[in-house]
Amino acid sequence: MTEREMSGLDAVGEGPVSSDATESAATGSTGDPSDHPSVAALLERFGDAVLRHRLNAGDQWVVWVDPARSHEILAWLKDDPDHLYDMMSDVTGVDYGKGRPVEVVYQMYSTGHRRALRIRCPLPLDALEIDSVYDLWKSVNWLEREVYDLFGVTFRGHPDLRRILMPSDYAEGHPLRKDFPLRGRFSRAEQTRRALNQDVERYYLAEDIAHGEPQQAPEVGTKASQDGEG
């Protein structure tokens, strides 16, 4: 089949294409750490815990740190007067596939010093665990749950670590992992069977169910719909 003859569904059937971490890293440079006070301070204070650093897109500094010391390092970046990263704007994950580590990514900003910094922690596939930073930034509550849900990373010490996008009993794995099939792990027939057999109490409160049958919107043009427009 030629490329022109391929349909969108054929592309889906071929499955995901793994990202190339080497190619992605080539878009940046090592830069001069002294240009960013926090990068220079991390290298000086934490030494071997800083795995590498990179400057991307001209002004986005990225520092890879040892996940075993992530909480210590992030707490220092938040509380030290010379840095004061008071805003944790995002926590996400990256899976490059091919057995490479899953990275937990922290995007931070210091409103006082007007500096941005990205911290990345690589986690081996057989040890997808890292300390939660909920005690430092309450904004990570749902963000860490999302990474847990979609990548399978456990955040030690999180007060309510459970799925947030997928159902609590979702059995097909973690949808943003590279090894996750685009059509899901179950057959269409099995997915349909599970959907038809699901318990509505998973999605509705008991009092909502007791209230009665779901209301339906009247058809356009009927008297009921016209009365509702007023």
Q: How does pLDDT run across 142-174, given as a tens digit for each residue?
A: 999 999 999 999 999 999 999 999 888 888 899
On whether the pTM is more than 0.85, the answer is no
Q: Assess whether pLDDT exceeds 50 at residue 99.
A: yes
DSSP 17: P
**Bridge-partner residues for 155, per DSSP?**
130
Range ranked top by mean pLDDT from 7-11, 157-161, 191-195: 157-161
In angstroms, the first-to-last Cα distance of the chain is: 57
Q: What is the CATH number of domain 20-208?
A: 3.30.460.80
In the predicted model, what is the mean pLDDT of residues 39-56?
A: 96
